[in-house]
Amino acid sequence: GAVVSQHPSRVICKSGTSVKIECRSLDFQATTMFWYRQFPKKSLMLMATSNEGSKATYEQGVEKDKFLINHASLTLSTLTVTSAHPEDSSFYICSGQGAIFSYNEQFFGPGTRLTVL
Amino acid sequence: AQSVAQPEDQVNVAEGNPLTVKCTYSVSGNPYLFWYVQYPNRGLQFLLKYITGDNLVKGSYGFEAEFNKSQTSFHLKKPSALVSDSALYFCAVRDSEGQNFVFGPGTRLSVLP
């Protein structure tokens, strides 16, 4: 199967700082990448969908100025949490979708745990 | 709109016994159905999917799921549970026209030795 990596796997930062999370498709070209957020013991919540070279489409209730998404290449998307606050602490998971795969299948990264102090 | 229900927050089963994790769905078109497993502090791992064809789908680690169109269900099953199967299981659906997945709330499976 296709492999998606995320870096870092875990990050702790101070309130008010910005944090960048990278999502890479290692062995396929991800024309579309998705960013999810997961609260403890809860399901995944789709935050945004990004197509390579285009602006991300954010789900209702997700602040686009706070969660900056860049999908500059077919193998890399980044999520930047700007001016992070403790309520932004969560588990962030990305997934990639490639044109070579049938049925729009998504492949998920291992997740990044963000803790804002 | 698409939706997924997993009616049980928690399923407990003894090691060696069969297990079932339930999932029901609602989509406007033909459903594409998926099961994922998540271990603590890890991302989602793909178990199996139903796109078309046989209603009984076999997947990773001995898991299988049966697509039932009339009951709009896609229950996950395994004949003999292992302690290592203890994890959080998510059912997901998308319709044949859409792009996004909709995930169920998850079911925590505990297999007791």
Q: What is the dihedral of CA B39, B43, B48, B51, to 10 degrees?
A: 150
The pLDDT of residue A33 is 93
The answer to which of A62-76, B14-28, B94-108 has the lowest mean pLDDT is: B94-108
Query: Considering only alpha carbons, which residue of chain B is nearest residue A35?
Result: B100
Tens digits of residue pLDDT in A42-78: 788 899 999 888 889 999 899 999 999 999 899 999 9
Strand, helix or coil for residue A28: coil
Query: Considering only alpha carbons, which residue of chain B is nearest residue A113?
Result: B41
Question: What residues of B are in contact with residue A95 (Cβ under 8 Å)?
Answer: 44
The pLDDT of residue B22 is 98
**C-beta atoms of A103 and B41 within 8 A:** no
User: Looking at residues A86-109, what average pLDDT do you find?
Assistant: 86
Higher pLDDT, A18 or B40: A18
Q: Which residues, in sequence order, are CB contacts of B98 under 8 Å at separation 6+?
A: A104, B2, B29
Q: Which of B41, B98, B103 sits opposite A44 (nearest CB)?
A: B103
User: How far apart are the C-alpha atoms of B112 and B77, rounded to whole Å?
Assistant: 17
Question: In the structure, what pLDDT confidence band is assigned to residue A101 with cuts at 50, 70 and 90?
Answer: confident
Query: Considering only alpha carbons, which residue of chain B is nearest residue A97?
Result: B99
**C-beta atoms of B103 and A34 within 8 A:** no
pLDDT over 90 at A21, yes or no: yes
**C-beta atoms of A104 and B99 within 8 A:** yes
The pLDDT of residue B99 is 65
Question: In the structure, what pLDDT confidence band is assigned to residue A106 with cuts at 50, 70 and 90?
Answer: confident
